[in-house]
Chain A
């Protein structure tokens, strides 16, 4: 038994934001006790959460664990340790491994390895098409049986509208979800940065916002046509947010996520040909950043996901156009999201929605995303005020591709508890036992 005592319990699913204590037992939330008092007879371990926020365990619905196939960049062990350090209890890992996760055997092996050595729950996302080649559908039903929680060719788009239509229609019958890496690859061309002033000035071929927006519009229209559910990944543009908002108003079953870098940085970050600010979709203009913020505030965007994309030095230490896309994000997502509170328009319960309740709902993760009685004992304790510097040498991921080194951040996961076991702790007297 574990008692988390006297913290600010924030659980949007139970509509709760108050001082209280939570009792965890046998991997589940056993009880909730309002106020700061606890039963005198309690004989388990007690974590004093005074001054901390107690959130349902954070869920990152978009990470690349690089396992199998690219274990030198990241593997299930290092990736989930990085997740735990960032306050995440669960991650959904994309299919662009080697081999691609397009077969139940691979999905199963990821699940098994995660069960053995993972410091977080790992939910595999399987590919939409075999080998992510955009031609033949994978075995959705079998993959779902093996543990795939959704389907995505993330890393590249499903280029063919016909293929996407079929995938959405077929997935619908099994109530499965397609996640879309929305990109018109031909329009994006050889672009390596947002098509705008910075790229023009630096002479870097641009990726127009329309390359993303056309694909988002297409996927929304295909969802409408097929009646299937679609989730738009890593939304980065103003019109992308507008399109999602419009679709939701029309009652379409569409959801969307963005990543911390899209509401934190703009394309100005690539100045000096900084390959650690290169990702796809690219960092956009200030007006896009503001629109993403607006989408987070008004509920258009459902989730914050990191798109944690570990890369070794070798593919980042080169000329900008040749550098690999993506940055690591698991250990910075929470503080960068907490920075949104400063504007006053995003509340702590909204943070809990974006980083836990909504991803659980979208991916239908049973027992996740809430602290109500009977839920899984996944809890993130947040110290909202601690100031710290993100330093390269402290990173738990195997990779070091982040534009945020040297940043002074505010707020951090004080402890991460998964299934009642402590996977990460910065709290005195609370030690990791997972």
Chain B
């Protein structure tokens, strides 16, 4: 196939062969990362702007390193988040940045759909680095890549995703990436944070941690947002941790060769016990590694052939 996409806004409309294409490209990128000189000139003269309306050091850093490994000029632009209710801020900011002629905008925004909106109003390529509770496509792809590396396949695997499903953009992207590749997805968490409607995405919903983890090949824990505590989706962190945290005892229900994933950052002792986070079964740091390769792949693929837009 040929890559024809101008933007990566979400995985909702990604075909399987496109995901495979990204993963293939990421494999080549990963080879570059094994070299002493971890840098190639592919995107020399290209500019990528990390336009972040929400704090996220790790995603931003991952995109920044990815861009720099490809010799792109990477500029970070962090905008205040307080003005989400004022629509002019987003469009005005984006137009300001656009006037500086970047090739790629990497956008993180607390409002779902913000990158889609921007893609209709600016001429450069846009990568969604997480929008509200909608999608986080590069995470969905790096999770797919990590599982492929750990398990050799995705099809037929039981993958349990546990935590705040309601507000998670990671889950929504994973439903597309892992779901479309044939995984059996289970979603689990407190019933206030796991909408039953998610079953329409082809996943199974359970509020029983043991049912979710039993015979799983992959257990993916989500970060519980401590700041949401005030809206009381569950009574206390202590109870959450007991009912929905991953402990040795619960994890022992999973397949013997099961692996643990987490998009980070981890609340140690809340959703994931300390020892499991650092155990041999943990693939959390592999996810971070895969992340750079996948983001290099996305930047590389989007940098081709769109100069006519300027």
A/B contact in complex, CB under 8 angstroms: yes
Residues of chain A touching chain B, judged by Cβ–Cβ distance below 8 Å, are 196-197, 200-205, 272-273, 314-315, 317-323
Q: Is the CB of B117 within 8 A of A197?
A: no
Q: Is the CB of A200 within 8 A of B111?
A: no
Bound-state CA distance A322–B90 (Å) is: 10
Stretch at the interface among B80-88, B212-220, B300-308: B80-88
- Other CB < 8 Å A-B pairs besides A201-B12, A204-B132, A322-B85, 8 of them? A201-B201, A203-B112, A273-B112, A273-B117, A317-B87, A318-B117, A319-B90, A319-B109
Bound-state CA distance A315–B134 (Å) is: 22
One of A200, A315, A317, A319 near B84 (C-beta < 8 A): A319
Q: Is the CB of A314 within 8 A of B87?
A: yes
Q: Is the CB of A197 within 8 A of B84?
A: no
CB distance from A329 to the nearest CB of B (A): 22
Query: Digit string of B82-121 for contact with A (CB within 8 Å is 1, else 0)?
Result: 0011111011000000000000000001011110110001
- Write 9 A-B pairs (CB below 8 A) sorted by A numbering: A197-B197, A201-B172, A202-B113, A203-B135, A204-B112, A272-B116, A273-B112, A318-B87, A319-B109
In the complex, whether B228 has a CB less than 8 A from a CB of chain A is: no
Query: Digit string of B31-45 for contact with A (CB within 8 Å is 1, else 0)?
Result: 000000000000000
Q: Is the CB of B86 within 8 A of A205?
A: no
Bound-state CA distance A220–B260 (Å) is: 53
Residues of chain B touching chain A, judged by Cβ–Cβ distance below 8 Å, are 12, 84-88, 90-91, 109, 111-114, 116-117, 121, 131-135, 169, 172, 195, 197-198, 200-201
Q: If A318-B117, A319-B87, A319-B109 touch, does A203 touch B131 (CB 8 Å cutoff)?
A: yes
Q: Is the CB of A205 within 8 A of B111?
A: no
Chain A residues whose C-beta falls within 8 Å of the C-beta of B87 in the assembled complex = 314-315, 317-319, 322-323
CB distance from A379 to the nearest CB of B (A): 42
Q: Is the CB of A202 within 8 A of B134?
A: yes
Chain A residues whose C-beta falls within 8 Å of the C-beta of B198 in the assembled complex = 200
CB distance from B219 to the nearest CB of A (A): 23
Bound-state CA distance A204–B114 (Å) is: 11
Chain A residues whose C-beta falls within 8 Å of the C-beta of B172 in the assembled complex = 201, 203
Bound-state CA distance A272–B85 (Å) is: 19
Q: If A202-B134, A204-B132, A322-B87 touch, does A196 touch B109 (CB 8 Å cutoff)?
A: no
Bound-state CA distance A246–B89 (Å) is: 47
Q: Is the CB of A203 within 8 A of B134?
A: yes
Q: Is the CB of A205 within 8 A of B133?
A: yes
Bound-state CA distance A315–B133 (Å) is: 22
Chain A residues whose C-beta falls within 8 Å of the C-beta of B169 in the assembled complex = 203
Q: Is the CB of A321 within 8 A of B116?
A: no
Q: Is the CB of A314 within 8 A of B135?
A: no
Which residue of chain A is the closest to B85 with respect to CB atoms?
A: A322
Which residue of chain B is the closest to A196 with respect to CB atoms?
A: B197
Bound-state CA distance A319–B134 (Å) is: 12
Q: Is the CB of A317 within 8 A of B132?
A: no
Bound-state CA distance A241–B35 (Å) is: 67
Most chain B CB atoms below 10 A, which of A197, A273, A317: A273
Chain B residues whose C-beta falls within 8 Å of the C-beta of A203 in the assembled complex = 112-113, 131-135, 169, 172
One of A197, A272, A314 near B88 (C-beta < 8 A): A314
Bound-state CA distance A40–B251 (Å) is: 96
Chain B residues whose C-beta falls within 8 Å of the C-beta of A273 in the assembled complex = 112-113, 116-117
Bound-state CA distance A318–B201 (Å) is: 28
Which residue of chain B is the closest to A323 with respect to CB atoms?
A: B87
Bound-state CA distance A200–B200 (Å) is: 10
Bound-state CA distance A317–B121 (Å) is: 10
One of A204, A205, A319 near B117 (C-beta < 8 A): A319
Bound-state CA distance A322–B112 (Å) is: 10
Which residue of chain A is the closest to B86 with respect to CB atoms?
A: A322
Q: If A197-B197, A314-B87 touch, does A202 touch B112 (CB 8 Å cutoff)?
A: yes
Q: Is the CB of A200 within 8 A of B88?
A: no
Q: Which 10 A/B pairs are nearest by Cβ-Cβ distance?
A: A318-B87, A203-B134, A273-B113, A203-B133, A319-B111, A203-B112, A319-B114, A320-B113, A322-B87, A321-B111
Bound-state CA distance A272–B114 (Å) is: 10
CB distance from B140 to the nearest CB of A (A): 13
Bound-state CA distance A200–B201 (Å) is: 10
Bound-state CA distance A273–B131 (Å) is: 12
Which residue of chain A is the closest to B136 with respect to CB atoms?
A: A203
CB distance from A287 to the nearest CB of B (A): 14
Chain A residues whose C-beta falls within 8 Å of the C-beta of B132 in the assembled complex = 203-204, 321
Chain A residues whose C-beta falls within 8 Å of the C-beta of B197 in the assembled complex = 196-197, 200
Which residue of chain B is the closest to A321 with respect to CB atoms?
A: B111
Which residue of chain B is the closest to A270 with respect to CB atoms?
A: B113
CB distance from A264 to the nearest CB of B (A): 23
Chain B residues whose C-beta falls within 8 Å of the C-beta of A317 in the assembled complex = 87, 91, 121
Q: If A319-B114, A321-B111, A322-B111 touch, does A200 touch B90 (CB 8 Å cutoff)?
A: no
